[in-house]
Amino acid sequence: MKIPSPSIPRISLYYRVLLSLKDKDIISSQELSELTGCSAAQVRKDLAYFGQFGRPGSGYNVEVLKTELKNILGIDKDWDVALIGAGNLGSALLAYKGFRGQGFNIKYVFDNDRKKIGKLKQGIKVRDILELKKATKQIGINLAVVAVPQEAAQEVIDELVLSGIKAILNFAPIRPRVSEDIKVLNIDLSTELERLSYFLQRRKV
């Protein structure tokens, strides 16, 4: 069955909300609706794409649903992540505790700056970016976070793809060209700010 792509971030959201629940065994789509801002029908539909998790008349078992959503999102197991770029943003990402808590372990850090290579950052050795190809092939990492300057991004991403990486979270303000079977998500701060700027400007009109 074809699953609408907007459903996936919503599943993440439901999962986040479930995690924050205390002393609650059962939850209804109505309650989930109020906690997430999505319509109750949307909640039921999103969940129904993946199976029949609820019981008519009562609702969803919170523990069961948490387990199911973890399976759906693929976070029932841990993922090893490579981080490219140990500058300001890269360091901030490295320090962000949310990753490890969610099962994303930044296992390798690469940079091209001689001053950084060999040093430890958050207990992880910064490696020369030239080792990239070898390292990912050896260990079979298939998830990478790219936090390098715009000029270097396409080149780094090409190298990552050659190394067998299949999914990339890209913070550089470009839309990289990759082959069909690679998934790239772009987080572009300038674009987001421009969306807000657009909103602010239109607001008065």
Binding site for its own copies (CB under 8 A): 8-9, 11-13, 15-16, 36-37, 72-75, 79, 81, 88-89, 91-93, 95-96, 98-99, 102, 104, 142-143, 166-169, 173-175, 177, 181, 183, 185, 187-203
Site pattern 91..110 for DNA (x: CB under 7 A): --------------------
Min dist. Cβ of residue 62 to its own copies (A): 19
User: What's the sign of the alpha-carbon dihedral 34, 40, 45, 51?
Assistant: positive
- Here the contacts of 125-130 (C-beta below 8 Å, separation 24 or greater) are 126/86, 129/84, 129/156, 129/159
> What gap in Å lies between CA 168 and CA 151, rounded to an integer?
17
Closer by beta carbon to its own copies, 138 or else 191: 191
By CB atoms closer than 10 A (0-12, 13-18, 19+), residue 101 is exposed
Backbone angles phi and psi of 143, in degrees to 5: -135, 130
CB of 171 vs DNA, minimal distance in Å: 22
66 counts as binding DNA under rule CB under 7 A? no
Backbone angles phi, psi at 15, to 5 degrees: -60, -45
The number of C-alpha atoms within 13 Å of 94 and in the hemisphere containing its C-beta is 23
Taking the complex as a whole, the smallest distance from the CB of residue 178 to DNA amounts, in Å, to 17
Q: Which is nearer to DNA, 48 or 193 (CB)?
A: 48
Instruction: Output the smallest distance, CB 91 to its own copies, in A.
Output: 7
Give whichever of 37 and 140 is closer to DNA, judged by the CB atom.
37
Residue 140's binding partner, choosing from DNA, its own copies, none, with beta-carbon cut-off 5 to 8 A by kind? none
Q: Which residues make up the interface to DNA (CB under 7 A)?
A: 2, 4-7, 27-30, 38-42, 44-45, 47-48, 52-60
